[in-house]
């Protein structure tokens, strides 16, 4: 407020879920919240328990530990933001984490959180952060040079003032009204002129006016106006010209030369009001340096991909087959990459962009692809035993003949995916969306592990065994 007075926050309108694996911290947070009396409080010690609570408890905000034991915090966040299976995909999320978890925090921002509290936490900061998040929710963002609450406000909210980016069509000038047409004048018919008969035996010079006969127009025709009588023009009377009086010339006054005034600088457009609390500056992480990118951390990656592409095109005669075993490439931008037949065992590609990637026949055993975008990718005949594909996007991908035995596709989106001949022995498909999958049969379904929330194509059913 303008006068600096504080407005008491109405906690009685909101419900809070605390997810913390440390019992002492969990009890402390519960006691802290009970003192401000929210509408409801629930606590959970791990992610699976939190999801079950949310099925029946419509929390407004989730206060969670950033490095949970059991179900990982990233997996819990992906499950919360899953539009298909989440009990509350739009719930506000506040994460408590240490500054050492910078990479993890950036990945959480990509999935979707509203606020961050740096550890060790204080009672005052926890209550302030929860209150500001509930009062003015804004997604936390991580981009080049900035890590903090989105300054543009909540997505989809109406902004005050004119829309500066909208193209405004120029106003067409109004066509001036045409002046009224002048009244029609009566048509005047010229007089008919007839020459007197000419005697061929007589010599004539020029005809005189007396030789012309003017016939009167008929009474029904237009009336002829009489010709005006000639007016004698009088010569103007001479006017005495007086000599002009001599004018005394005044000496020009000296003019002071003024220095040109500098042009006023255009006023900068006012930035939208930042409604975030000033305490953010003390709590948020520092700007993300350039070295945080995967490409900067692995300068040899592009070289390996180029050598592998040469190996494919030459049929193995030149180039080198790519081997990225055990590499940490989480969050890598590898859209459309060609790594067919490559060695990718135990590689970490979680939350990476592999949209349209070609991974035919690649060895991906034990790899981590949780939360990865592999839509329209080609993984035909790839070895993907025990791969973690939980909450990944596989819509439209080619998986025909792929070995997914023991893999986890929990909460994954497989709509439009080709699963012809895929080995699903002991594959975890709980919460997965296979509604539009192609080539899937009941025999494959019977070998996999599914839950009641799994979506299957029409005609298939979950085995009761």
pLDDT in tens, 123-145: 989 999 999 889 888 776 544 44
Q: Please write the tens of the pLDDT for every residue from 61-97.
A: 999 998 888 888 888 988 888 877 888 888 999 998 8
Q: Which two tokens stand for residue 54?
A: 């949310």
Worst-scoring range by mean pLDDT, 3-12, 334-343, 347-356? 3-12
Q: Please write the tens of the pLDDT for every residue from 373-430.
A: 898 899 999 999 999 998 888 988 999 999 999 999 988 888 889 899 999 999 999 8
* Residues 142, 95: Cα–Cα separation, whole Å: 14
Mean pLDDT of the chain, nearest integer: 75
Please tell me which residue, 191 or 240, carries the higher pLDDT value.
240
φ, ψ of residue 47 in degrees (nearest 5): -65, -45
Contact (CB, 8 A) for 66 and 97: yes
Q: What is the fold, at CATH topology level, of the domain defined by 293-465? A: Pectate Lyase C-like (2.160.20)
The predicted model scores a pTM of 0.48
Burial class (CB in 10 A: 0-12, 13-18, 19+), 177: exposed
User: What ranges do the domains of the chain cover?
Assistant: 11-149, 293-465
CA dihedral 441, 443, 448, 449 (to 10 degrees): 100
Q: Which two tokens stand for residue 435?
A: 């509604």
* Residues 39, 61: Cα–Cα separation, whole Å: 12
Q: Which range, 62-66, 73-77, 214-218, 308-312, has the best average confidence (pLDDT)?
A: 62-66
- Whether the per-residue pLDDT at 50 is higher than 60: the answer is yes
Query: Quick one: pLDDT at residue 165?
Result: 38
Q: Which range, 32-41, 246-255, 304-313, has the best average confidence (pLDDT)?
A: 32-41
Q: What is the fold, at CATH topology level, of the domain defined by 11-149? A: Rossmann fold (3.40.50)
Contact (CB, 8 A) for 48 and 390: no
Q: Which two tokens stand for residue 222?
A: 């237009």
* Residues 296, 317: Cα–Cα separation, whole Å: 30
Percent of the chain past pLDDT 90, that is, above it, reads: 28
Residue 354: alpha-carbon gap to chain centroid: 21
Pairing of strands 140-143, 146-149: antiparallel
Contact (CB, 8 A) for 457 and 440: yes
* Residues 393, 411: Cα–Cα separation, whole Å: 9
* Residues 89, 84: Cα–Cα separation, whole Å: 9
């Amino acid at each position: 407020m303008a006068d600096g007075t504080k407005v008491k926050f109405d906690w009685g309108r909101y419900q809070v879920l605390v997810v913390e694996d440390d019992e002492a911290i969990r009890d402390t947070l519960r006691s802290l919240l009970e003192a401000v009396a929210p509408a409801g409080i629930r606590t959970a010690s791990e992610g699976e328990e939190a999801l079950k609570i949310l099925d029946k408890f419509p929390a407004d905000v989730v206060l969670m530990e950033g490095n949970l034991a059991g179900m990982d915090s990233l997996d819990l966040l992906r499950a919360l933001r899953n539009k298909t299976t989440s009990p509350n995909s739009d719930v506000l999320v506040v994460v408590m984490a240490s500054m050492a978890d910078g990479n993890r925090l950036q990945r959480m921002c990509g999935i979707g959180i509203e606020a961050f509290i740096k550890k060790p936490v204080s009672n005052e900061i926890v209550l302030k952060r929860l209150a500001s998040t509930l009062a003015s929710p804004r997604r936390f963002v991580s981009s080049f040079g900035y890590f903090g609450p989105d300054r543009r406000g909540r997505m989809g909210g109406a902004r005050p003032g004119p829309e500066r980016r909208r193209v405004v069509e120029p106003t067409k000038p109004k066509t001036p009204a045409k002046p009224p047409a002048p009244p029609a004048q009566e048509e005047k018919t010229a007089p008919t002129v007839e020459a007197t008969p000419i005697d061929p035996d007589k010599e004539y010079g020029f005809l005189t006016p007396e030789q012309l006969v003017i016939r009167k127009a008929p009474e029904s025709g237009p009336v002829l106006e009489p010709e005006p009588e000639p007016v004698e023009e009088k010569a103007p009377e001479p006017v005495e010209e007086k000599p002009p009086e001599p004018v005394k010339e005044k000496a020009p006054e000296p003019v002071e030369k003024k220095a040109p005034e500098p042009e006023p600088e255009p006023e900068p457009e006012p930035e939208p009001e930042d409604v975030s609390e000033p305490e953010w500056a003390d709590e948020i992480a520092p700007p993300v340096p350039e070295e945080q990118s995967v490409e900067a951390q692995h300068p040899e990656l592009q070289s390996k991909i180029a050598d592998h592409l040469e190996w494919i095109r030459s049929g193995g005669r030149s180039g080198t087959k790519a081997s990225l075993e055990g590499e940490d490439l989480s969050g890598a931008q590898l859209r459309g990459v060609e790594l067919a037949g490559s060695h990718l065992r135990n590689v970490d590609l979680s939350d990476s962009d592999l949209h349209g990637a070609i991974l035919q026949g690649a060895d991906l055993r034990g790899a981590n692809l949780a939360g990865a975008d592999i839509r329209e990718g080609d993984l035909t005949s790839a070895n993907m035993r025990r791969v973690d594909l939980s909450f990944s996007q596989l819509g439209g991908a080619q998986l025909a003949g792929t070995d997914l035995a023991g893999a986890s596709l929990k909460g994954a989106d497989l709509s439009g995916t080709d699963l012809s001949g895929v080995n699903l022995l002991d594959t975890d498909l709980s919460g997965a969306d296979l509604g539009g999958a192609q080539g899937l049969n009941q025999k494959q379904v019977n070998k996999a592990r599914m839950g009641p929330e799994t979506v299957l194509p029409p005609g298939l059913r979950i085995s009761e065994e």
